[in-house]
Amino acid sequence: MKTVYGPVASWRLGRSLGVDPICRKLKICSFDCIYCQLGKTRKKIIQRKKFVSLARIKRDVEEVLPKVKDRTDIITFSGTSEPTLAENLEEIIDFLRGTTDLPLAILTNSSLLFKEEVRKVLYKLNKVVAKLDAPNQEVLEKINGPAEGITFEKIMKGIKEFRKDYRGEFALQIMFVKKNKEFASDIAKVAREINPDEVEINTPLRPPLGEPLNKKEIREIKEKFRGLKKVITVYEVKKPNVIPLDLREVQKRKRPTL
């Protein structure tokens, strides 16, 4: 697997070139979300460590970026696991800052934002998209299956601390399925406490994930977030046209690997 893939057409970020600082075939994560496109988490962890060397990422970036820069809007940390688990994330960010003027973003499940060391690293990014699928511990366990030591209280504390000091664009991403749609009002209440720059309402449309909500259900959920700065949904934002450099690398991150 390469550590760089895409660019992919993102309804939230535009033409996004992915950087995967975990890059493993065997899925490990701090969550085991019931809708994850990569399948079940075989090992849940919260300890940060180096999964991929900076040298490897440099090689992949230097090979791929010149070929796709003109059709890329943003570089996004994402891929095969929770990217904040990468202990060397900061040095990867610093390398990219010295290599390109493209904005940098991350898709995070928010599980490690309670760690000050993680928050300080993410302050360096232009956009942070943080997950919040639940309004309490019970729903968190039902939807996200967190690793031991991760609680709703810790997640909320981390998000609020990060939001307070972050100067980039902060978005809250929420994945709605049948099992958490009845808590939309409660999640909206929590979102108002956080006051993000943007709320991104999603539902799993890629097979074989199952349980996607239809357009009517998503419209009704969006109404519950009325009054927040900006609310967008997966059904109403048009994806850009983009052709990835290597489709196989993209598919490795869109299909269950086990």
Query: Tell me, what's the pLDDT at 117?
Result: 98
Q: Does residue 257 surpass a pLDDT of 50?
A: no
CA separation for the pair 236, 218 (Å, rounded): 10
Counting DSSP H helices and E strands in the chain, the numbers are 8, 10
pTM across the whole model: 0.93
Q: Which two tokens stand for residue 8?
A: 């992919």
**What are the DSSP calls for 135-178, one per residue?**
SSHHHHHHHH-PPTT--HHHHHHHHHHHHHH--SEEEEEEE--T
CA separation for the pair 247, 173 (Å, rounded): 25
Q: What is the pLDDT of residues 104-135, one digit of tens each?
A: 999 999 999 999 999 999 999 999 999 999 99
Q: What is the pLDDT of residues 137-192, one digit of tens each?
A: 999 999 999 999 999 999 999 999 999 999 999 999 999 999 999 999 999 999 99
4-251, CATH topology level: TIM Barrel (3.20.20)
Q: Spell out the domain ranges in the chain.
A: 4-251
Which residue type, as a one-letter code, is found at position 207? P
